[in-house]
Every structure is written in structure tokens, then in C-alpha cells.
Amino acid sequence: MIGAGTAGMTAGIYAARANKKTLILEGKNYGGQIINTPDIENFPALNHISGIEYATNLYNQVKELGVTYKREEVQNITEDRVVTTNKNQYQAKAVIIATGTQNRKLGLEGEDNLVGRGISYCATCDGRFYKGKNVAVIGGGNTAIEDAIYLSDLADKVYLIHRREGFRADQKAIEILKSKDNVEFILNNKPYKLIADNKLTGLEIINNENEITKVDVSGIFIAIGQIPNTEIFKDFIELNESGYIKSKDGVHTNIDKIYVAGDVREKELRQLITAASDGAIAANTAITEIQ
């Protein structure tokens, strides 16, 4: 398994329970992006559990089953399933790609240099540094709404900046956010320029009439979507126009014995429960086809 998020670790559980020699490779922390979620409310029977707690439980379950877990970054994979990492090389009978996604950036000048100095992609990780300060959240989906709710209990003022009029988020969460006295909605605007002097001091935004406004904030939390982690596969694995891996029936790629699971694949709904389902199906399919 390449990737130790919900899909990859679930696949590891099913493979180990089938008594298969199982290896999970992950270049970063286990758990995937769910570790940034303060409160999981939409996974059956796991109501109100933090993302870190969930990921730790899943990791411990994987280890208890005897799965080999290595923190190694996969650098290359061939069509005959030779996997090369920054430390080793492995020959596999089957490979399950579960590399997930990464945060989409604003693309503004100075953005990378300001990460950790006013720019963040994780409210639960960095929100405490902005207690009593003014912050902006960029985005209009569930993550942006959840981040704004979380930050409203820490920051003095939260600006939710969205390029459209409406939101692509859970209506209940939107209503909760609207009830917060220290949250201001700035719609039909998008980030235009970062203002900084060694660290972030403000943000210029531009509306649909090309009018520019300055917002004084100490922190910006970016939640504008995800990009699939498929760069190392693009030369031989079929991807869609957005870079997600195409799968003929949910788990098969265009290469024999190389499967895909989780958020990195082309699909309609990307949630914990669908990632777990993908991992189970991919592992079961691989087990059956390598018999």
C-alpha cells in the first residue's frame, strides 16, 4: 500500500487478515488529512472523535495485525510493480495506490515563504497562535466552514472570504457559523495580494467589479480544495483531466495488479467512509486476483 490514510490502512487490515505479507509505505505522518479535523461527526459509531485519535486507533489496529509500516517516500513505481523509495526497493505481487490529496494553494506571490508566518492550511494545527487576533478563512466548502467555526472560538475576528455567493457545505454547519457574532462573511471576493513585512499583516481582495479592498489580518487559513498526489504515476497510470486516477470499476487502474483506493481516485464522494470502503474492496480484489 502506498499511503497511510484511511484507504491505505484499511487495505492493510484486510490484507493482513487474509494472511498476506503486507507493507504500508508513507512518506509523511500516518492518518492523512483527517488528522487536521478536530471532531469527526459523520462516521458511523464514531461520533465526536478527533482526527488524530481516529488515525492513531487505525494505525494501532494495523500494527496489531502485524502489518509492516515504513516511513519511506515512494519515488518511482514500474508497471511490473517494482516500488522504489528514498531508502529501499520492493517487488510486490500487487500494489494499492492510496496517496490521497494535498492542499490547493492560492497561487499568490510570497505564499510559500509565509507558511508558518501568517499562512496556514490547517486551522486545528495553527489556530491557537492567533488567539485574540484577526484572521481570514478562504473557501466555501465544508473545510472552510469548519475552520471558521473552530477559529471563531479563538480569534477576535474571523473573515470568511469566498469567491461565490453560495456555499458548497453542510447547511447545519453554515447555520452554526452564521450564529457567531465575531464572524463576517465577505462573498463574491477572492484573494488578490498578500501584504507582509517578514510576516503577514494583511490581505487585498478583489470583487466581481474589480474593486480592491484591504483586510487587516494576522493569519490566513486556506481551504480551497485539494490536488491529487499522482505526480509519480502520471507517465503510465491513466488520470482524468483533474489529475485523479481513473478506475474502471472503482479499484482497477489501467495496469494489471495495480489498484487504487481513497481520495486519489476519480469518484463523486470523498469521505472517511468511502475511503475505508475503497481500501477494503481494493485489498479484497487484489487478494483474489493474485491467488
Q: What span, in angstroms and rounded, lies between the C-alpha atoms of 219 and 103? A: 17
Type of residue numbered 257: K
Instruction: For residue 127, give the C-alpha cell.
Output: 489556530
Task: Specify the fold of 6-102+226-289.
Answer: FAD/NAD(P)-binding domain (3.50.50)
**Pairwise CA distance, residues 18 & 20, whole Å:** 6
Question: Would residue 122 show up in a list of annotated catalytic residues for this protein?
Answer: yes
Going by CATH, does the domain composed of 112-222 fall within 3.50.50.60? yes
- Render pLDDT for 10-28 as a digit per residue (tens, 0 to 9): 999 999 999 999 999 999 9
CA distance 270 to 291: 30
Beta bridge partners of 168: 141
Indicate if 125 belongs to the active site: yes
Q: Can you tell me the mean pLDDT for 168-185?
A: 96
CA distances from 140 to 32, 186, 278 (A): 22, 11, 27
Per the annotation, the verdict on 256 as an active-site residue is no
**What pLDDT does 40 receive?**
85
Name every residue whose Cβ is closer than 8 Å to that of residue 210 and which is 6 or more positions away in sequence.
none
Question: Do 6-102+226-289 and 112-222 come out as alike in CATH topology?
Answer: yes
- In this prediction, residue 182 has a pLDDT band, given cuts at 50, 70 and 90, of very high
In whole angstroms, how far apart are CA 148 and each of 108, 116, 142, 198?
21, 18, 10, 25
Give the active site residue among 80, 125, 153, 156: 125
Among the listed residues 126, 147, 263, 278, the single catalytic one is 126
For residues 61 and 41, the answer to whether their CB atoms sit within 8 Å is no
- Which pLDDT tens digit goes with each residue over 42-90? 899 988 899 999 999 999 999 999 999 999 999 999 999 999 999 999 9
User: Which of 199, 197, 202 has its CA nearest to residue 214?
Assistant: 202
To the nearest whole number, what is the mean pLDDT of the chain?
96
Predicted TM-score of the model (pTM) = 0.81
Per-domain residue ranges of the chain: 6-102+226-289, 112-222
